[in-house]
Amino acid sequence: NGIAHVMALAGYDVLLTDVSAEALQKAIDTITGNLDRQVGRGKVAEADRDATLARIKTTQTLSDLGQSDLIIEAATERETVKQAIFEDLIPHLKPTTILTSNTSSISITRLASRTDRPEKFMGFHFMNPVPVMQLVELIRGIATDKETFAACRAVVEKLGKTAASAEDFPAFIVNRILMPMINEAVYTLYEGVGSVESIDSSLKLGANHPMGPLELADFIGLDTCLAIMNVLHDGLADTKYRPCPLLTKYVEAGWLGRKSQRGFYDYRGDTPVPTR
């Protein structure tokens, strides 16, 4: 929903699709709430909010996307899911449509190879929360042409964000650096070097991070963190990227962070409480 929010606010017509009508309605409700907050803070005019919402339509039918100029896939971080979406979508698209994925770690070249237009395919990775974060990673696959890259860079500029060009290697730039740090923080907890609270406080106060690594992991989603670490470990074959067993255990338990109300913190009360 964050991507739809910023695209529509920048003047693009947006068609948001999902298999779930409930998910689509939740997305519209979230976008509306976030725009209302921006209006309240004086960052967006009421007329612009109304115009933004009018530009967003929803559908559960993939064929409705056929006349789109740009597709941004933002499904869960599982390669088989993303491949299935593209395979179902491609027959409905016009030849000039650019395909992109918001993946945070999966090979763009491999995803592109399963489509009919690898030269018009690239990675378009937004940072969360999308309306707030200014960076977008642009990742070219081995076949991505210059025109596709230039078109996507122009979109980023129209959004008022900054593009970082990354090569197509596991986890690209941000997560290649960020996820091993989070994984090391989990190892620090796993080995008893520090508690959840002491680890997060140390990085916030000692390294001037706005969020501690375990708090950030909960915000991102522990399942997403684990998926990216597995991509790094499998793709680079280096033991330094081995996911911490404790991270795996939390995911197995369904403790995925904020979205499941429990992770390294328990969010079921008024104030988050460390779970270890």
CA 54 from centroid of its chain's CA atoms: 24
Q: Provide the CB-side half-sphere exposure for 267 (13 A, CA).
A: 13
Query: Where does the chain have alpha helices with state H?
Result: 2-9, 21-40, 46-54, 79-89, 108-113, 146-158, 174-190, 196-206, 213-220, 222-236, 245-252
**Annotation marks residue 5 as catalytic:** no
**Short-list 16, 25, 14, 22, CA closest to 51:** 14
CA 202 from centroid of its chain's CA atoms: 27
Region of residue 187 (phi > 0: left; psi between -120 and 50: alpha; otherwise: beta)? alpha
Contact by Cβ (8 Å): 126, 134: no
Region of residue 237 (phi > 0: left; psi between -120 and 50: alpha; otherwise: beta)? left
Q: Which of 5, 92, 125, 233 is catalytic?
A: 125
Cα–Cα distance, 42 to 96 (Å, whole number): 38
- The residues that are catalytic are 125
